[in-house]
Amino acid sequence: MTGTARSHAKGFKPEAKKHLGQHFLHDGGIIAMIVQAVDPKPGDHLVEIGPGQGAITFPLLDRHGELTVIEFDRDLIFPLTDGARAHGTLEVIHRDVLTVDFTALANEDKIRLVGNLPYNLSSPILFHALDHAAVIRDMHFMLQKEVVDRMAAGPGSKVFGRLSVMLQAYCQVIALFDVPPGAFRPPPKVDSAVVRMIPHAPDKIGIVDHALFARVVRDAFGQRRKTLRNALSQVCDGAAIEAAGLRPDARAEQIEVADFVRLANALAASGAVLAEPGKS
């Protein structure tokens, strides 16, 4: 049987593709926990990223009746659409998720994102979703546990860093539960975890210049052992840091998310920002 014929055979489940970072969830207990965490309600616009073999897709359809999925692997399209007939109405978007306009997809509604994200693309997908946070009600993602730990970490933690600040500035980040490698086929070499992200209301974010905020956070954590005065030497001087109410001799991992926002806003208001090297 050819590859094309196999992909159209009844009940055929394509094997995981290593180059796409595929690990298919199969543990019924974990699947039930994810569906319960999402807890879809009538009228919800659910969008799943990377449905794979439908492990979460079909139970969500059973609960909710309709679902939109975004799948890049064409070999999974027919098994998904064929299998979904017994569960509900499935809309399949065959594209790279990084090219999907979530705002257009929402169509003046709020969407709820769900997904077992490919671990090699998790950060780009997270930040792509944040670009459309205004139309996203919440997100429930399976990610590498190490990444979830960093996402949810607070100041003083060894894993509190750039990712923590950039996500928590825009979302409430809640680590829900861990998932062992054996819950997947093939099992990954790392533990996984499920995280819930709820975008803040725009008036709660309070960032004046988003590009400047990102630059401040990037440079602050560029070399973790440096003080803010030294780490931000290409952005501002120690006096500007002190004027924003922060200690220039503090290190980035000691600073609250709200303090990074305050510093970036103070720099934007004062104009005390040095030109970025290489840019005029």
Written as one string, the DSSP assignment of the chain is --HHHHHTSTT--PPPPGGGT--EE--HHHHHHHHHHH---TT-EEEEE--TTTTTHHHHHHHHSEEEEE---GGGHHHHHHHHTTT-EEEEE-S-GGG--HHHHHTSS-EEEEEE--GGGHHHHHHHHHTTGGGEEEEEEEEEHHHHHHHH--TTSTT-SHHHHHHHTTEEEEEEEEE-GGGEESPPSS-EEEEEEEEPPHHHH--S-HHHHHHHHHHHTTSTTSBHHHHTTTT--HHHHHHTT--TTSBGGGS-HHHHHHHHHHHHHHT--PPPTT--
181-238 residue pLDDT tens: 999 988 888 999 999 999 999 889 999 999 999 999 999 999 888 999 999 999 999 9
Is the pTM higher than 0.85?
Answer: yes
Query: Which phi and psi angles does 201 have, rounded to 5°?
Result: -65, 145
159-192 residue pLDDT tens: 999 999 999 999 999 999 999 999 998 888 899 9
232 C-beta neighbours (distance < 10 Å), count: 25
- CATH fold of 210-270: Helicase, Ruva Protein; domain 3 (1.10.8)
Exposed e or buried b per residue across 39-53, where buried means at least 16 C-beta atoms within 10 angstroms of its C-beta: ebeeebbbbbbbbbb
pLDDT (0 to 100) of residue 276: 85
Return the CATH number of 3-202, one of 1.10.10.10, 3.40.50.300, 3.30.2310.20, 3.40.50.150. 3.40.50.150
Residues annotated within a binding site: 23, 25, 50, 71, 96, 116
Residues annotated within a binding site for S-adenosyl-L-methionine: 23, 25, 50, 71, 96, 116
32-56 residue pLDDT tens: 999 999 999 999 999 999 998 899 9
pLDDT (0 to 100) of residue 71: 93
Q: How far apart are CA 147 and CA 143, in angstroms?
A: 7
What are the domain boundaries of the chain?
A: 3-202, 210-270
96-118 residue pLDDT tens: 999 999 999 999 899 999 999 88
pLDDT interval class at 3 (50, 70, 90): very low
14-34 residue pLDDT tens: 554 444 445 678 999 999 999
pLDDT (0 to 100) of residue 272: 82
